[in-house]
Amino acid sequence: MADLKEELSETMYCILLSLQEERHGYGIIQHVTDFTAGYVQLGAGTVYTSLKKLERAGWIDRTRTEDRRHYYVLTERGTQALDDQTRRIARLHAYGKGIA
């Protein structure tokens, strides 16, 4: 399995956040637009490519297919990666606040 931690981008982080609940590709696009207040707008090609990568890495699982759409949710490994990243970002934020 590929390890994505080194290259976890804003896109990947937002997709992981969104997949704490089961969603399909376009559902992720909408959810990310909502919770970032439009700051992060994901393209369809990016989401499709990212989902394949996350699935290969074992961070998400396909739960079902309905009306041609695959639904995904975080695996235990994905949940752990999301927690690690959230802690890392919080740490960086604290460093920044300490200096600024």
Partner 1 sequence: MTTKTAWLAPFTHPTPERLEAWFEREAAAGWQPDELGDMSAIRLRMRKTKASQVRYVVDPQQRVDEDYIATYQDAGWQYVGELSSLHVWRRRYRDERPEAFTDSASRRARNRRLAWVTGAVGALALVGMVIRVGLGVAGIGASSEDWVLEAGVLALIGLPLVAVTAVLLRRRDAA
Task: Give the binding site for partner 1 (CB under 8 A).
Answer: 7, 9-12, 24-26, 29, 41-50, 53, 65, 67-70
Distance between alpha carbon 58 and the CA centroid of its chain, in Å?
A: 13
Specify the residue, 11 or 85, whose C-beta has the smaller distance to partner 1.
11
Specify the residue, 9 or 95, whose C-beta has the smaller distance to partner 1.
9
> 20 Cβ partners below 8 Å, 6+ apart?
73, 74, 79, 82
Distance between alpha carbon 48 and the CA centroid of its chain, in Å?
A: 12
Specify the residue, 47 or 74, whose C-beta has the smaller distance to partner 1.
47
Shortest distance (Å) from residue 75 CB to partner 1: 18
Shortest distance (Å) from residue 22 CB to partner 1: 14
Angle at 7 between CA 42 and CA 73, to 5 degrees: 55
Residue that has been written with the tokens 């079902």 in this structure: 64
Shortest distance (Å) from residue 5 CB to partner 1: 14
